[in-house]
């Protein structure tokens, strides 16, 4: 039995967050214990810190573990490690995960929500599992819920849950927030279960979206598919006397956490490493001897043991251009481009790589002088579209590196592991330019994290106009991510911008991000929920 179940004599109401994925995962250790690992993704990043700092807040979600792979003792150890961190894990079978998570959530809803309807698969079997698993989440919540509690449901995996909860408990406040875009009715109506999904989320008292545009799309869907109008205050009168309210709540980041973490010794070491590797500052990885043209210097270099580079340069200058130019007085300054993503087709990675390739083609003066650190962690590997994308990105990186690499310079450093926050901040801090070019994104937190890691200093952001963040970050180099030529030009301009100008632009954007953090976002949503919900006392269950 879960340690948080029942009243335990305590009647204080609580906040219970519910999402498919918990903010942390567990890694088995050799001694049989489990270590916590922060999960990747905007939802975990934004709400994780709120949950850890509010000691009365619980989080219910999928454990990520298949019970068939574990002994009962292991399951108990997993459960109790999660509970020590106020997380209540749900165990789903492989079949349930295939239908609910890989299937309906990520193969049907995710592409539809991101305007990739050509990738959406409509399968009645996965819909059935999706509905069933939404019920399982309600079952997992039932023993935890107390009178007056707030249940805050997250994202597209649990769109039926708000109404299931409303039918089962009428003495709680129910919020729902969508972390991805909401599409236009033309796209959403192609979903065979579009009406059921709308009715499902309308069970909430408050429905939140990242932008006003997504709110408008949702209202149009409700009007066209359910024939219900929304009034000017965002109220939607649903059957049975319930009124749902819709509004926009643009999500933020924990700005100070990123600013602070950038100063940690690991982040600084990471930054230093990248700066040395890319030739931004001299280090052991670069042989500076070839900057000297004179034979005296060459002789000195030979004496100091770097005879090989000189020799190769004489025979094959095209392979050592980077090295010889790297510290030469007339050469371009060396620069670092960075990006951090889950490997997802909505992030526009192939298009971005083509824009980088185009830069090297169109502006060859950058060859040897710009190094791209591409951090892209594989995601949702059970879904075929993601497997294809991984192959495509692997091939493109290989192709570009093969085409442009030199003896001491590789254009793209491709890292596919998921890194903790400290090294991620180090990568952001090392980036003269961040390339954040999703084809579609609800908000995109990476853009904001990059700016927080450049607090008070230079660093240029190239940002897609297809994400919510573009509405707040207008001083960035805004691009249409499908337009390779435009992205290439923006990248070139971003590499050339003066530190004074980029610091000035960043200051304006940083002020906005600082004012709207993840903490103020959580508080703003929960305050608004309190205003619109009025948990009744005529208890159906308690």
| Cβ atoms < 10 Å from Cβ of 420 | 12
Q: For residue 525, what are its two tokens?
A: 């949503």
Choose, by CB under 6 A, the member of 418, 457, 497, 512 that binds ligand ADP. Answer: 418
Q: Is 454 in the site for ligand ADP (CB under 6 A)?
A: no
Length of the chain: 542
Number of helices (H) and strands (E) in the chain: give both, helices first.
22, 16
Rounded least distance, CB 228 to ligand G6P, Å: 26
> Over the range 234-248, which residues count as b (16 or more CB within 10 Å of their CB) and which as e?
bebebeeebebbbbb
Please identify the residue of the shown chain whose CB is closest to the bound ligand ADP. Answer: 42
- Interacting partner of 340 out of ligand G6P, ligand ADP, none (Cβ under 5 to 8 A depending on kind): ligand ADP
**Which residues neighbour 370 within 8 Å (Cβ) at sequence distance 6 or greater?**
334, 335, 336, 337, 359, 360, 411, 495
Binding mask 262-301 for ligand ADP (x = CB under 6 A): ----------------------------------------
- Interacting partner of 443 out of ligand ADP, ligand G6P, none (Cβ under 5 to 8 A depending on kind): ligand ADP
Which helix H or strand E contains 500, and what residues bound it?
Answer: helix 499-515
Separation CA 447–CA 461 (nearest Å): 7
Residue 311 among the catalytic residues: no
Q: Which of 166, 137, 143, 2 is nearest to 61 (CA)?
A: 137
Nearer to ligand G6P, 277 or 379 (CB): 379
Rounded least distance, CB 446 to ligand ADP, Å: 4
Rounded least distance, CB 141 to ligand ADP, Å: 24
Q: Is 257 in the site for ligand ADP (CB under 6 A)?
A: no
Gyration radius of the chain's alpha carbons? 26
Rounded least distance, CB 411 to ligand ADP, Å: 19
Beta strand ranges found along 382-476 (DSSP E)? 412-415, 433-436, 460-464
Residue 179 among the catalytic residues: yes
- Interacting partner of 419 out of ligand G6P, ligand ADP, none (Cβ under 5 to 8 A depending on kind): ligand ADP
Q: For residue 248, what are the β-bridge partners?
A: 209
- Interacting partner of 451 out of ligand G6P, ligand ADP, none (Cβ under 5 to 8 A depending on kind): none
Rounded least distance, CB 155 to ligand G6P, Å: 4
3-state SS string for 210-229: CCHHHHHHHHHHHHHHHCCC
- Interacting partner of 445 out of ligand G6P, ligand ADP, none (Cβ under 5 to 8 A depending on kind): ligand ADP
Binding mask 28-57 for ligand ADP (x = CB under 6 A): ------------xxx--x------------
- Interacting partner of 65 out of ligand ADP, ligand G6P, none (Cβ under 5 to 8 A depending on kind): none
Nearer to ligand G6P, 42 or 519 (CB): 42
Number of shown-chain residues binding ligand ADP (CB under 6 A): 17
Phi, psi of 80 (to 5 degrees): -75, -30
Rounded least distance, CB 109 to ligand ADP, Å: 14
Q: For residue 106, what are its two tokens?
A: 């990520």
Choose, by CB under 6 A, the member of 274, 290, 429, 443 that binds ligand ADP. Answer: 443
CA angle 246, 100, 525 (to 5 degrees): 25
CA angle 179, 180, 183 (to 5 degrees): 140
Please identify the residue of the shown chain whose CB is closest to the bound ligand G6P. Answer: 41
Active site residues: 179, 441
Q: Which chain residues interact with ligand ADP by CB under 6 A?
A: 40-42, 45, 340-342, 375, 377, 418-419, 424, 443-446, 449
């Amino acid at each position: 039995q879960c340690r948080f179940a029942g009243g335990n004599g305590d009647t204080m109401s609580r906040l219970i967050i519910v999402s498919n994925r918990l903010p942390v995962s567990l890694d088995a250790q050799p001694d049989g214990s489990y270590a916590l690992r922060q999960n990747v993704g905007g939802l975990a990043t934004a709400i994780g810190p709120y949950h850890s700092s509010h000691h009365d807040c619980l989080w219910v979600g999928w454990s990520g573990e298949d019970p068939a792979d574990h002994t009962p003792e292991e399951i108990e150890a997993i459960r109790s490690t999660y509970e020590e961190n106020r997380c209540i894990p749900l165990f789903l079978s492989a079949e349930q995960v295939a239908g609910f998570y890989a299937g309906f959530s990520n193969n049907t809803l995710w592409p539809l929500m991101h305007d990739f309807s050509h990738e959406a698969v409509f399968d009645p079997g996965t819909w059935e599992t999706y509905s069933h698993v939404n019920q399982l989440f309600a079952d997992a919540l039932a023993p935890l819920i107390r009178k007056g509690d707030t249940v805050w449901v997250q994202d597209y995996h649990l769109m039926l849950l708000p109404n299931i909860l409303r039918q089962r408990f009428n003495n709680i406040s129910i919020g729902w927030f969508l972390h991805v875009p909401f599409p236009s009715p033309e796209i959403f109506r192609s979903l065979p279960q579009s009406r059921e999904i709308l009715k499902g989320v309308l069970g909430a008292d408050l429905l939140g979206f990242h932008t006003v545009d997504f709110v408008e799309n949702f209202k149009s869907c409700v009007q066209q598919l359910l024939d219900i109008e929304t009034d000017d205050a965002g109220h939607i009168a649903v059957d049975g006397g319930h009124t749902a309210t819709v509004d926009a709540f643009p999500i933020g980041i924990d700005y100070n956490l990123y600013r602070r973490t950038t100063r940690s010794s690991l982040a600084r070491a990471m930054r230093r490493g990248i700066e040395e590797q890319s030739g931004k500052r001299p280090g052991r990885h670069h042989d500076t001897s070839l900057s000297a043209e004179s034979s005296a210097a060459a002789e000195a270099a030979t004496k100091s043991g770097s005879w090989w580079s000189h020799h190769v340069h004489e025979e094959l200058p095209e392979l050592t251009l980077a090295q010889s130019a790297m510290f030469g007085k007339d050469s371009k300054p060396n620069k670092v481009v960075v990006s951090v993503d889950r490997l997802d087709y909505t992030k526009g990675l192939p298009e971005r790589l083509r824009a980088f390739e185009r830069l090297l083609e169109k502006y060859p003066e950058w060859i040897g002088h710009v190094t791209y650190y591409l951090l892209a962690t594989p995601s949702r590997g059970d879904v075929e579209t993601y497997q294809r994308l991984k192959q495509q990105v692997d091939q493109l990186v290989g192709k570009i590196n093969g085409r442009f690499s030199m003896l001491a310079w590789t254009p793209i450093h491709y890292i596919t592991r998921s890194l903790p926050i400290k090294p991620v901040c180090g990568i952001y801090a090392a980036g003269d330019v961040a390339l954040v070019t999703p084809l579609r994104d609800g908000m995109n937190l990476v853009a904001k994290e990059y700016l927080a890691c450049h607090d008070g200093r230079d660093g240029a952001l190239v940002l897609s106009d297809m994400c919510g963040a573009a509405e707040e970050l207008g001083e960035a180099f805004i691009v249409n991510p499908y337009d390779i030529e435009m992205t290439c030009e923006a990248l070139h301009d971003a590499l050339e911008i003066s530190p004074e100008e980029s610091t000035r632009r960043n200051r304006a954007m940083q002020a906005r991000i600082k004012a709207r953090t993840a903490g103020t976002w959580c508080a703003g949503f929960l305050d608004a929920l309190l205003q619109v919900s009025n948990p009744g006392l005529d208890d159906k269950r308690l």
